Amino acid sequence: MKLKKNIAVSETGFLFDPNSGESFSLNETGKKILQFLKEEKSENQISEWFVKNYEVDQATFENNFNDFITVLQNFRITE
């Protein structure tokens, strides 16, 4: 899973895609995932981190994560 190169994410969860000129807003969880994706962390690493720090079990997180990735693909934010 790779983000497009020049995607910019602000501190406040605002995402700008210079390729399309479109903007998006992210909640805390979404912002964190985008940050990890930018750092090219694997799905496993991301999932572990969330399960350790948040009130969420692995199955729920992975389910939500996959759904989120599908949305990113639909918005053409990923490569």
Partner 1 sequence: MKEKLKYERPIITKINAGVTDKFGMRAKMPVISEIDGIPVKELINKYGSPSFILSEQTIRKTYNDAKRAFTTRYPNVQFAWSYKTNYMNAVCKIFHSEGSWAEVVSGFEYDKAISNGVPGNKIIFNGPDKSKEDLQKATNNGSYIHIDHFDELYDLLSIAETSEKRPKVAIRVNMDTGIFPQWDRFGFNYENGEAWNALNRIMMSKKLDLIGLHTHIGTYMMTPAPYGVAASKLAELAVRLERKFNHKIKYIDMGGGFASKNTLKGAYLPGKDTCPTFDQYAEAISNALINSELDPNEMPTLFLETGRALIDDAGYITGSVLANKRLADGRRSMIIDTGVNMLFTSFWYEHEIYPAKEVSSHSEDTTIYGPLCMNIDVIRSVIKFPLLQKGDHYVIKRIGAYNMTQWMQFITLRPKIILVDPEGKTHIIRENETNESLTSLEVIPEHLK
Using the rule CB under 8 A, is 36 a contact of partner 1?
no
Instruction: Decide if 25 contacts 15 (C-beta within 8 A).
Output: yes
Structure tokens at 27: 């909640």
Using the rule CB under 8 A, is 25 a contact of partner 1?
yes
- The smaller minimum CB distance to partner 1, of residues 48 and 65, is found at 65
Plot region of 49 (φ>0 → left; ψ -120 to 50 → alpha; else → beta): alpha
- Min separation Cβ 5 and partner 1, Å: 18
Residue 70's Cβ-count burial label (10 Å; 0-12, 13-18, 19+) is: exposed
Using the rule CB under 8 A, is 43 a contact of partner 1?
no
Positions in the binding site for partner 1 (CB under 8 A): 15, 22-30, 32-33, 50, 53-56, 60-61, 63-65, 67-68, 70-75, 77
